[in-house]
Structure 1
Amino acid sequence: MATTDDSIDGLTEHCDHCGTETLHKVSVQIITESSKQENAQFSREPYRVKECQTCGDRSSQRMNNA
């Protein structure tokens, strides 16, 4: 679960690589999932991307599982 801390400018989350709660940069990115150029515009999905500011580990999770 993501939390905010008034003393830190950012978001702290559990980092699987570090094994502790660390500061993370979190963003939402639209990623094209289709490799076919003709249908690429219909295969874009939002992903939540987080990057640990301590170790640099980066992970993404698809937000729409329809």
Structure 2
Amino acid sequence: MQYWDGDDMATTDDGSNGMTEPCEVCGVETLHEVSVQIVTEGGTGENARYSREPYRVRECQRCGNRESQRMNNA
């Protein structure tokens, strides 16, 4: 997979860079950095440019656990 790092799209009320979300590893709500990345799923070749999909990526700022979820599930 190839990743393209998009702009940080997360905001919080306390002005920090991230948002609180539940962390499966920590077991509590923690600060997460959230971004959108474009992933090329089709490998290489001429048609690879048509297989790009957006993914929501979040990383726990406490333990470093990183998760991604495909945003287009058509």
Alignment TM-score, normalising by the size of structure 2: 0.77
Letter in 1 for 2:30: T
RMSD of the alignment, in Å?
1.6
Structure 1, unpaired ranges of 5+? none
> How many pairs are equivalent?
63
Partner of 1:63: 71
Q: Greater relative contact order (Cα 8 A, min sep 6): structure 1 or 2?
A: 2
User: What percentage of aligned pairs have identical amino acids?
Assistant: 70
Distance across 2 between alignment mates of 1:36 and 1:54? 36
1:5-44 aligned at under 5 Å gives the runs 5-6=13-14, 9=16, 10-44=18-52
Deviation at 1:36, TM superposition (A): 3.3
Deviation at 1:50, TM superposition (A): 0.1
Letter in 2 for 1:47: Y
Deviates more, 1:52-61 or 1:8-17: 8-17
1:52 aligns with 2:47: no
Alignment TM-score, normalising by the size of structure 1: 0.86
CA deviation vs aligned residue, 1:12-62 (integer Å, no higher than 9, x gap): 000001110000000000000011322110000000000000000000000
